[in-house]
Amino acid sequence: MFEFAIAGIQAPIFLLMLTGFTVGIVGGFIGVGGGYMVTPALIVFGFPGYLASGIDATHMAGKAVVSSIRHRQLGNIDWTLALSMVAGTMLGVELGVRLLNYTKKLGISGVVLLACSVVVMLGLFIYTQLETRRAHKRLEQASLEGSHVGRELKTSTLHTFFQAIPLVPIVRCRTARVVVSMWVIVLVGVATGFLAGFLGVGGGFIRVPSLVYIVGATTHISVGTDLVEIVVSGGYGGLRQSMSGNVDMMAVLFMILGAMIGAQFGSIATAYVRGPAIRYILSYSLILATTGAFLRLLYVLTGQKIALLSFFAVVFTLGEMIFLCLFIVSLVIFSVLHTRGKKVPQWVAPLVVAATE
Amino acid sequence: MKWFIDSMLGYWIMLLAASLGAAACIYVFWLKDALY
């Protein structure tokens, strides 16, 4: 047990490092900051809500730096896309925070936030899951026919509509191999930043699907590029929270120690899978977070009297982290076995790829 | 048992059950008393 002077609580160091480690794996793999998992987890560990939010934002920036460096080495970052989106993201976050403050004044922020989180995440889950299943089936078909398939396969054609918008300036994103109006990228930044600012999260789970389905980038590029956005937004958020005295730096330090190792593993793990595998994990993350938020919404709506709802909300938050880590680790193991010619389940083979391919 | 490995849905259910079970154990036997 370690006594955190600013938070005024005692918590096991091991627990914080483990939380950082697990969220680091998930964040490095699907390109999210993991705020929707870390903040509730820290509150469960006994940290006050405002400190949980501050610690989360600060550790997120550090973790995103580690993941971004690794993704850069893997060639997964499109700097044109990332830098074009930053301005829109910052504007969107500011607008989102203003709407959040307005709902706070009306006294309905808790319910509105949870309800919006459930609707947005459920919608994203359904779209991502349906699209990824179609892509998975096509990969299985191609695998049976013995034809070569690259790292990416998408069945959504939504991006063709947005790429056809002829508003100048048109930007050529060389790494992502996308030619699109800069206004589309900026508007994606504003929209995802707005939702992120309003819902109080980093926004990776909204931005990654947007980059894939609206801008038309590959899943690997979307993950790496989004992590650069998180460095900026998390760094800014962490700085603002630190200036407001909402950060316990010792807690951040222990979480970053775990996250640095986890983020390395999560980022490297993307080299072992095809795009649909990352989108599957992202959609699983969304549905579990939706369930947790829905349980918390029910708990709030029932006047915080049914303790069982609170218990299940906590179990889903912790269980989600364990589940996502196990799934990512098992995909890497399956990939290694598949590369060595060992037998793997039929559904796994189209999702994994040899790291050297 | 084979279905839990050979089917993606089965694998999903098996991992989720194991994870939620582990989370429930962590909460009941450790976090609840140690941290609250």
- pLDDT value for A98: 81
- pLDDT value for B30: 73
- Domain, as residue range, for B19: 3-35
- pLDDT value for B14: 93
Least confident of A51-60, A170-179, A193-202, A287-296: A193-202
Q: Which residues of B touch A314 (CB under 8 A)?
A: 23, 27
Q: Which chain B residue lies closest to A321 (C-alpha atoms)?
A: B19
Q: Which residues of A touch B11 (CB under 8 A)?
A: 345, 347
Percentage of chain A lying above the pLDDT 70 cut = 96
Query: What would you report as the CA-atom Rg of chain A, rounded to the nearest whole angstrom?
Result: 20
Backbone angles phi, psi at A170, to 5 degrees: -90, 130
End-to-end Cα separation, chain A, in angstroms: 45
CB A202 within 8 A of CB A276: no
Nearest to A327 by CA among B2, B30, B8: B8
Query: Looking at residues A176-191, what average pLDDT do you find?
Result: 89
- CA A248, A254, A259, A264 dihedral sign is positive
Pairwise pLDDT comparison (B19 vs A99), residue with the higher score: B19
CB A59 within 8 A of CB A227: no
- pLDDT value for A183: 92
The 10s digit of each residue's pLDDT in B1-36 is 788 888 888 999 999 999 999 988 888 887 666 554
Nearest to A103 by CA among A95, A115, A93, A113: A113
Number of domains, chain B = 1
Nearest to A325 by CA among A275, A273, A263, A271: A263
Task: Return d(Cα B31, Cα A198) in angstroms, integer.
Answer: 30
The 10s digit of each residue's pLDDT in A338-348 is 888 888 888 88
Least confident of A61-65, A112-116, A214-218: A112-116
Tell me the residue type at A264: Q
Task: Return d(Cα A239, Cα A57) in angstroms, integer.
Answer: 9
Q: Which two tokens stand for residue A105?
A: 């004044």
Q: Where are the domains of chain A?
A: 2-339
> Can you tell me the ipTM of this complex?
0.92
Task: Return d(Cα A129, Cα A206) in angstroms, integer.
Answer: 14
- pLDDT value for A7: 67
Antiparallel, parallel or unpaired: β A170-173 and A9-11: unpaired
CB A170 within 8 A of CB A180: yes
Among A137, A333, A347, A348, most B C-beta atoms within 10 A, so best to mutate, is A347
| CA–centroid distance for A195 within its chain | 14
Query: Looking at residues A261-286, what average pLDDT do you find?
Result: 89
- CB contact under 8 Å between B20 and A323, yes or no, is yes
Query: Looking at residues A257-275, what average pLDDT do you find?
Result: 89
Q: Which residues of B touch A11 (CB under 8 A)?
A: 35
Least confident of A45-54, A78-87, A137-146, A214-223: A45-54
The 10s digit of each residue's pLDDT in A312-346 is 877 887 888 889 999 999 999 999 998 888 888 88
Pairwise pLDDT comparison (A7 vs A134), residue with the higher score: A134
Task: Return d(Cα A340, Cα A196) in angstroms, integer.
Answer: 42
- pLDDT value for A286: 84
- pLDDT value for B36: 46
- CB contact under 8 Å between B22 and A319, yes or no, is yes
Residue among B19, B35, B36 minimizing CB distance to A322: B19
With 0-12 / 13-18 / 19 or more C-beta atoms within 10 angstroms meaning exposed / middle / buried, residue A107 is exposed
Backbone angles phi, psi at A273, to 5 degrees: -130, 160
Query: Looking at residues A278-296, what average pLDDT do you find?
Result: 84
Residue among B7, B22, B36 minimizing CB distance to A322: B22
Tell me the residue type at A174: R
Tell me the average pLDDT of chain A.
83
The CB density around residue A122, as the number of other CB atoms within 10 Å, is: 17
Distance from CA of A15 to the nearest CA of B (A): 10
Task: Return d(Cα A207, Cα A81) in angstroms, integer.
Answer: 12
Residue A92 has pLDDT above 60, yes or no: yes
Per-position b or e across A256-293, b if 16+ CB within 10 A of its CB: bbbbbebbbbbbbbbbbbbbbbbbbbbbbbbbbbbbbb
Q: Which residues of A touch B15 (CB under 8 A)?
A: 323, 326-327, 330
Residue A230 has pLDDT above 80, yes or no: yes
Residues in chain B: 36
Q: Which residues partner with A9 through β-bridges?
A: A4
Q: What are the C-alpha distances in Å from A18 to residues A13, A15, A214, A261?
A: 9, 5, 35, 10
Query: Looking at residues A156-179, what average pLDDT do you find?
Result: 85
Tell me the residue type at A297: L
Where does chain A show beta strands of DSSP type E?
2-4, 9-11, 170-173, 178-181
Residue A25 has pLDDT above 70, yes or no: yes
Q: Which residues of A touch B22 (CB under 8 A)?
A: 319, 322
Reduced to 3 states (helix: H, G, I; strand: E, B; else coil), residue A107 is coil
Residue A110 has pLDDT above 60, yes or no: yes
The CB density around residue B29, as the number of other CB atoms within 10 Å, is: 10
